[in-house]
Amino acid sequence: MNMKPEFKIISDLINENSHVLDVGCGDGILMEYLIKEKKVDIRGIEISKTKVQNCIAKGLTVIEGNAEEDLKQFPDKSFEYVILSQTLQAFFNPEKVINELLRISKQAIVTIPNFGYWKIRLHLLLKGTMPVTRTLPDEWYNTPNIHLCTIKDFVFFSKSKNFKLSKSIALKSNEPSYINNKNLNIKNLSSNLGIFLIES
């Protein structure tokens, strides 16, 4: 199976046998991967009925729900990790969602498709139309992604909201590397995905 390199990085951030919530778990591919790799006790929440059905068919424990409304049912610190894989940009209020993640979990793993990636910049520069890429496959008129940002945006946003980024990783095709203050501009240009471990 062609496992996303993103999943490998997420898996490396997680301790074995931990209690995890995957917010926007989709078809449960990451959940299955983490069960196999890290023997985690994992739950999922997903907005699409079809995808919830697919998860149930795999024996995964998933509830149908909208993360923006349904995270409040989980008690404080009821998970060790909560994962938000390429979903943040679809929320009306990303700040509120991250605060919720940090309330219900000790650590949050947030991954974002990087709108600062050079191919995206080039697409807009040369073609003059809204970028459509592999990680961002929707057209401007039907995209669920209403709050796209760059790696740099997210780092600045985290600073201003006092979200403690304990690990910041950039993914350039399949190559992960750490992001720091010095290389931020380079990583923001060269990477298609940002992966952040936020501690509460």
Partner 1 sequence: MNVKENIKKLIIKKPLKLDCGKIINNFPLAYETYGELNKKKDNAILIFHALTGDQFVTGINPVTKKDGWWTYAVGPGKSIDTNKYFVLCANVIGGCMGSFGPGHENPETKKIYGTDFPVITINDMVNAQINLLEYFGIEKLFSVVGGSMGGMQVLQFISNYPNKSKTVVPIACTSNHSAQNIAFNELGRQAITADHNWLDGKYNSQSTVPDKGLAVARMAAHITYLSKKGLQEKFGRKLQERDDLKFGFDADFQIESYLRYQGSVFVDRFDANSYLYITRAMDYFDLVKQFNGNLSSAFKNTKAKFFVISFTSDWLYPTQENKDIVIALNAIGANVGFVEIKSDKGHDSFLLDVPDFLKALKNFLDKSYLEK
Residues that bind partner 1 (CB under 8 A): 19, 43, 49, 52-53, 55-65, 73-75, 78
Minimum distance of partner 1 from residue 28's CB (angstroms): 11
Secondary structure (H, E, C), the chain? CCCCHHHHHHHHHCCCCCEEEEECCCCCHHHHHHHHHHCCEEEEEECCHHHHHHHHHCCCEEEECCHHHHHHHCCCCCEEEEEEECCHHHCCCHHHHHHHHHHHEEEEEEEEEECCCHHHHHHHHHHCCCCCCCCCCCCCCCCCCCCCECHHHHHHHHHHCCCEEEEEEEEECCEEEECCCCCHHHHHHHCCEEEEEEEC
Minimum distance of partner 1 from residue 173's CB (angstroms): 35
Residue number with CB closer to partner 1 (53 or 185): 53
Residue number with CB closer to partner 1 (55 or 198): 55
Residue number with CB closer to partner 1 (77 or 127): 77
Residue number with CB closer to partner 1 (57 or 122): 57
